[in-house]
Each structure stands twice: as structure tokens, then as C-alpha cells.
Amino acid sequence: MSTQNHLFTSESVSEGHPDKVCDRISDAIVDLYLSHAPDARVAVETLCTTNQVVLAGEVRGPESITPDMLVQVARHAVKDIGYEQDGFHWDRMDVRCFVHSQSADIAMGVDAAGGKDEGAGDQGIMFGYACDETPALMPAPVYYAHAILKSLAEARHSGAAIEFGPDAKSQVTLQYVNGRPTRATSVVVSTQHGETYSQADIREIVRPHVLNVLPEGWMCDEPSFYVNPTGRFVIGGPDGDAGLTGRKIIVDTYGGAAPHGGGAFSGKDPTKVDRSAAYAARYLAKNVVAAGLADKCTIQLSYAIGVSRPLSVYVDTAGTGKVDMHRLSDVLQQLVDLSPRGIRTHLGLNRPIYARTAAYGHFGREAEADGGFSWEKTDLVNDLRCSFL
């Protein structure tokens, strides 16, 4: 960001957004394969529209996993999200499966063999970011945008807000003064709702979810609080708009507050550095900030297909660093093996932990006992501090 005083906006979309439905299905298929074979390879895309779901991609895993099983995984994912509508229903939708075996050419370049370590699953650049704006060390606009929609979803799933449908979006604009977020200047929430509710009804049902999420005194003024600004949002989800895996990569990461390498995460097993290296970069950046070595930190990693070691490791603390950046880069590489295999081993990524990442961001979540969101741990803090004593 070029100035210390500015407005910055980030958005989020709910688990019922058409693109997120697709992300959820693709990640549920990743989990299915990893639950049967931790070394399975998966790259599966999903498309959805009115009562239609299409699965496509390539896999390498147990032959016992059949197309019918993939279809059932898709139905379960849609049911769990809550779609039982005329235009999109987990039981009545048509699911077509075009998933096939992985290309031998890709497998040859990636597999470990003859003394060669396992290579990256593709070329590319990946970014990780952390800052001290929120307890989760995430940029505040996307952090609060996610939190609003999570609050709505929890109310819907619990039955406390039967008015809401699964599809929803939020957008939060914050005012920064001297580089720190101070208040919201506008909040936008669009949520699918039942036929009998007016825009005014939904506005008042949504309001407490926003007030409970934002810090006290941060709420925008009334004219800048937009709820269902078109006036009506009854038809939603894949019935209202087609969805595709991997179209919400900024929502998945830092809300535009940090660079993005361009690769999506969902539907990919952790040998794909689009996913695993982005997780590793967040893990390193978060530990740098948590250790007090910088107020904000961006890390870029780059890879070539079939090559195990990163081609570059770049660290930028935007002038907030308290230690030498070149030395910091060296120390991070000493603490964590950044080869694809090294990342998966260090973070324990070869587990069925991905369906839960498909909505409300891959970052800024709590590390879980079964290994979910392991990249959110701050277990490098002591080592980092000791390295610079």
C-alpha cells in the first residue's frame, strides 16, 4: 500500500457461493483419495450450474475408488452445504464424472527415482503473508469479511436464522490512519433468503452479525451499510450463476492485501506446490511476525516442475523488519526444508484435511488437533528469536 492513510477493501464469499460449492467438491475428492492413500495424486476440477455438476481431472490412486464414489462425494458435499432447492438439490442434481488417470509424462517429472528427490508438481510462484493487524496475523479487511459470513453460516446451520440461504457475499472497506485500520467506512452483505422476506427484514437480521464481528465503534454509518443492494436475492447458488473450482483465489488468501502467484489451491493434492508452497510461505511469514521480527512479512517461493528445491526464496518486510532480510531468508531455509516432500513432511499435509479449507479462507484459521491448518502454527517463534539473539 502506497500511503499510510487510505481506504482498503476486501471481500469474502460463503460456502454456498457457486465457485465455493465447486471448491468444496474438489477438496472433498482430494480428501477421499488421501484417506485411502496418503501418496495419491489428485487434480480435480468441478463445474456446477442449475442441478448439474461436472467433475473432470486426473488422479493416481487406488482403483477401489470408483466414479460412483466420486459422485457420492459430490452429493454429500452439496448436502452438507445445505442445498435442497428446486434449482440445485443434492439428491436430484445430475453429476457427471470425467476423472481419468494421471499423465505418465507429469508423473515421470515429479516422482522420486534413481537418487533424484521428488520434484515440484509444476512451475510457479507462491506467496505467503502475515501482518499484525488482527490476532490471526491477517489483514483486517478480509479477516472481518470472512468472519461476517461465518457468523451467518453458523446461524443458518444451527437453525437460528432460517431466513438465510446458503449463498452469500460480504465486502468490508476499512479506513487506515498511520498505517493501522481504525474503522469501517462501508460494509456490504448480500445473502440468499426466503421468498417471504423483504430487503428491510434481511437488513435487520444481518445487522447483529456485523456488529458482533467488527470491533466496538468500527461500524460504518447507516447509509454505507448495504444489505442485498439489488433488493432481492431469492434465486442463488449454482441455479443463479455457474461455478468453477479455483475462481476465488484472492478470497482464499489475503483479500488483495498481498501478492498472489495465480495458482488456485482447491482440488489439488499437496504435491502440487500451488497449494503446499503457498501454505509453507504463509507458515514462515506468520512465524516471522509472531516472533516480533517484523510487523508485516511477504515471502515468495518459486519452483520448476520436476526440480525439488525452490529456485528462489524472497523475504520482504515492507520496512518493518527488525533483522537483516538476507540473514532472515537463510535462517528460514535452515529451519524448514522447502522441497515439496520437505514441506509436506514438516506440515503433515498428506492427510484428508482439505474440504474444511474450501470456504472462509485458507489462512487466519486455528491449527487443529488432527493436522488441519497446520500452516497456522507458530512453533518456529523460539527458533527464530534464538537465531537473532
Catalytic residue among 132, 163, 241, 383: 241
272 assigned to active site: yes
What the block records as the C-alpha cell of 308 is: 525439488
Is 241 a known ligand-binding residue?
Answer: yes
Is 274 designated active site? Answer: yes
* CATH code 3.40.50.2300 for 6-13+142-236: no
Nearest to 75 by CA among 43, 33, 29, 36: 29
State yes or no: is 45 an active-site residue. yes
SS3 27: helix
Kindly give the pairing relationship between strand 52-60 and strand 94-101.
parallel
Q: Catalytic site residue 248?
A: yes
Residue 282 annotated as binding? no
Distance CA 19, CA 252 (A): 11
Active site residue 286: no
58 is catalytic: yes
| 233 assigned to active site | yes
How far is Cα 360 from Cα 255, in angstroms, rounded to an integer?
11
264 labelled ligand-binding: yes
Residue 267 region, left (φ>0) first, then alpha (ψ -120 to 50), else beta? left
The fold of the 18-103 domain, in CATH, is GMP Synthetase; Chain A, domain 3 (3.30.300)
Q: Which of 156, 268, 296, 356 is catalytic?
A: 268
Domain 124-132+251-387 is found in CATH 3.20.20.70: no
Looking at residue 117, its pLDDT comes to 62
Residue 110 is predicted with a pLDDT of 63
Q: Is 272 annotated as a binding residue?
A: yes
124-132+251-387 and 6-13+142-236 share a CATH fold: yes
Residue 343: which residues within 8 A CB-CB, separation 6 or more?
Answer: 270, 273, 276, 277, 279, 280, 336, 337, 349
Task: Give the pLDDT means over successive 10-residue stretches in the chain (389 positions).
Answer: 84 98 98 97 97 97 96 98 97 97 67 62 92 98 98 96 95 97 98 95 97 98 97 94 98 98 96 96 98 98 92 96 94 96 97 98 98 98 94
- The annotation status of 79 as a binding-site residue, yes or no, is no
Instruction: Enumerate long-range contacts of 204-210, CB under 8 Å, 24 or more apart.
Output: 205/161, 205/163, 205/164, 206/152, 209/148, 209/151, 209/152, 209/155, 210/148
What does the domain layout of the chain look like in residue ranges? 6-13+142-236, 18-103, 124-132+251-387
- Count of all residues that appear for the chain in the document: 389
